[in-house]
Structure 1
Amino acid sequence: MTLLAALQRRPDAPRRRMPPATLIGSGLVLLTVLACVVMPDLLAPHPPDAVAPDAALLPPGHGHLLGTDELGRDLLSRIIHGSRLSVLVGAAATLLALVAGTLVGLVAGLFDGAVDAVLMRFVDIMLAFPALLLALGAIAVLGSSPTRLAIAVGVSNIATFARLVRGDVLRVRTRPYVMAATVSGVRPAGLLLRHVLPNIGGPALSLAVLGFGVAMLESSSLSFLGFGPRPPAADWGMLAAAGRANLAEAWWLSTFPGVAVAITVLATTALGRAAQDRLAVQ
């Protein structure tokens, strides 16, 4: 079944109610996108870099919903503005992993013999190491910046997409219409575009939704370790790391950025699972 057919629902098919977790996840993801791309200044109650020494380390409340940091900056405003880097790095890393992993999986699945064996051995080596460890190695080679952080996280997740796409390509290759097209002399490019890609796009895209949450978690973890953006720029991982110095008397500085990461990852996971379930049913 092609991706287009999977996304279309027959008029006479029963309408399925969307699970509450999916509705909540969709709303949270939409709110995060609005916060990071569309209108962070409208959502933030204060300027994110406005210093107020007399309001330093205020607990949640007192005119600051999530409290303030050691310089008196509003934490909620910094989390809202920091979502831009967190989301953009996660999205860029997921796009890199999706494109590169799909290309590797397509080549490995379409070509038998040595090409498939060599590519899959590299994929197996990458899968033998935790993705965060691979990202740390890439950061050590590339250096530290938001762009290089996205590249490092994306490279560390290529193997997951490559393995999925290769398996789907091998499955699609055995379909009668693909074999008939091959026998009739359809060129590899036409076979790829007309018959293979439409049938493997759904699983790859649903994995990309799940991978976005994983990429955000990895990038925030690397930022927490000091491999993310440099001040005054900030993302959620950096905000959580900055609060460690005052954790005893100001627990909110690290807690709320961590909660923002957790909620976003859970929301994208719910959307990814819902996409997988929909494809599985159809």
Structure 2
Amino acid sequence: MTLLTALQRRSDDPRRRMPPAAVTMAVLVLLTMLACVLVPGLLAPHPPDAVVPEAALLPPGPGHLLGTDELGRDLLSRIIHGSRLSLVVGAAATLLALAAGSLVGLVSGLFGGIVDAVLMRVVDIMLAFPALLLALGAVAVLGSSPTRLAVAVGVSNIATFARLVRGDVLRVRARPYIKAATVSGVRPARLLLRHVLPNIGGPALSLAVLGFGVAMLESSSLSFLGFGPSPPAADWGILAAAGRANLAEAWWLSTFPGVAVAVTVLATTALGRAAQDRLAVQ
């Protein structure tokens, strides 16, 4: 419910809008993350799985900017290569939640009646539980693999999109031109494509931008708890979890993967809020 509440808080106060500098920084961060996903080999200074025993647990320095792990592998290179799994799982989960939630919201808002009542009761039940708890239950049932992790996180966020889309559909349906089109015999499919979807797409996409950061945070949290992909696959949550055994003498092993997650989430939140501000002035 947090994402939905955040998106619906539309204020005309300019002081509450995202500063342009913050939005620009967020775009640069996400472009950097995208480059890490597409061409990690060009950005990583070392092979991510190169074991160098004599370089084990080196602190951050000139040769290894973020230090090395217990096997002497360069942490920066592992974070860069691990970004692909973290970001792709987050994006896939967000697309699943957006598609399924939008479908549920459209059906509920357009048909109303008993269909709306049943679907919204299911949505209310899902919203009563924290999304991470739902994702944890889903991944425990489905199993731990990148695809199943994305499905589990996506399913846990369907209710938020469904509630938002349903509210926007009901708002659009109440407009006079929609009622006039319905009375004049416009086919439901044409009404949906030409009048309803264009008016609800903006808030849903804005929520999707915010939801991407949340989905990535949830997937990394599940990986940290041991419910993510199995080694040798490594995302940021797995990297952070692997550093717990040496946290006292090698703080960088868990710190820098956690920083990567935090920076990405903050960047997507900034872009989501910027999209929210743009919708508020339209």
User: TM-score range, shorter-chain basis?
Assistant: over 0.9
Give the TM-score normalised by the residue count of structure 1. Answer: 0.93
Q: Give per-residue Cα distances to partners, 1:219-268, cap 9 Å, x unaligned.
A: 00000001111111100000000000000000000000000000000000
Q: Which residue of 2 aligns with 1:167?
A: 167
1:19 maps to a residue whose letter is: P
Q: Which residue of 2 aligns with 1:30?
A: 31
Partner Cα separation in structure 2 for residue 22 and residue 212 of structure 1: 16
Q: Give per-residue Cα distances to partners, 1:121-172, cap 9 Å, x unaligned.
A: 0000000000000001101111111100000000000000000000000000
Runs of 4+ in structure 1 displaced over 6 angstroms? none
8 Å contact from structure 2 (residues 236, 261) kept in 1? yes
Question: How far apart are residue 48 of structure 1 and its match?
Answer: 0.2
1:32 maps to a residue whose letter is: M
Q: Which residue of 2 aligns with 1:203?
A: 203
Question: How far apart are residue 28 of structure 1 and its match?
Answer: 0.2
Alignment of 1:184-223 (within 5 A): 184-223=184-223
Partner Cα separation in structure 1 for residue 115 and residue 197 of structure 2: 20
2:32 maps to a residue whose letter is: L
Question: How far apart are residue 18 of structure 1 and its match?
Answer: 6.4
Partner Cα separation in structure 1 for residue 242 and residue 19 of structure 2: 39
Q: Which residue of 1 aligns with 2:10?
A: none
- Number of aligned positions between the proteins: 266
Partner Cα separation in structure 2 for residue 235 and residue 278 of structure 1: 33
Q: Which residue of 1 aligns with 2:143?
A: 143
Q: Which residue of 2 aligns with 1:181?
A: 181
1:86 maps to a residue whose letter is: S
Partner Cα separation in structure 1 for residue 51 and residue 157 of structure 2: 39
Look up the SS of the partner of 2:112 in the other structure. coil
8 Å contact from structure 2 (residues 140, 227) kept in 1? no
Alignment of 1:16-27 (within 5 A): 19-27=20-28
8 Å contact from structure 2 (residues 109, 166) kept in 1? yes
Partner Cα separation in structure 2 for residue 129 and residue 145 of structure 1: 23
Q: Give per-residue Cα distances to partners, 1:55-106, cap 9 Å, x unaligned.
A: 0000000400000000000000000000000000000000000000000000
Partner Cα separation in structure 1 for residue 87 and residue 187 of structure 2: 39
Partner Cα separation in structure 2 for residue 187 and residue 113 of structure 1: 20
Q: Which residue of 1 aligns with 2:235?
A: 235
Look up the SS of the partner of 2:249 in the other structure. coil
Q: Which residue of 2 aligns with 1:50?
A: 50
1:193 maps to a residue whose letter is: L
1:21 maps to a residue whose letter is: A
Partner Cα separation in structure 2 for residue 118 and residue 188 of structure 1: 22
Question: How far apart are residue 188 of structure 1 and its match?
Answer: 1.1
Look up the SS of the partner of 1:233 in the other structure. coil
Question: How far apart are residue 177 of structure 1 and its match?
Answer: 1.1
Question: How far apart are residue 176 of structure 1 and its match?
Answer: 1.1
Q: Which runs of 5+ in 1 are unaligned?
A: 1-16
Alignment of 1:1-282 (within 5 A): 19-37=20-38, 39-282=39-282
8 Å contact from structure 2 (residues 82, 236) kept in 1? yes
Q: Which residue of 2 aligns with 1:6?
A: none
Question: How far apart are residue 187 of structure 1 and its match?
Answer: 1.2
Q: Which residue of 1 aligns with 2:11?
A: none
Give the TM-score normalised by the residue count of structure 2. Answer: 0.93
8 Å contact from structure 2 (residues 60, 66) kept in 1? yes
1:48 maps to a residue whose letter is: P
Q: Which runs of 5+ in 2 are unaligned?
A: 1-17
| Percent identity over paired residues | 85
Partner Cα separation in structure 1 for residue 183 and residue 141 of structure 2: 46
Partner Cα separation in structure 2 for residue 58 and residue 229 of structure 1: 27
Q: Give per-residue Cα distances to partners, 1:20-57, cap 9 Å, x unaligned.
A: 110000100010011112x1101000000000000000
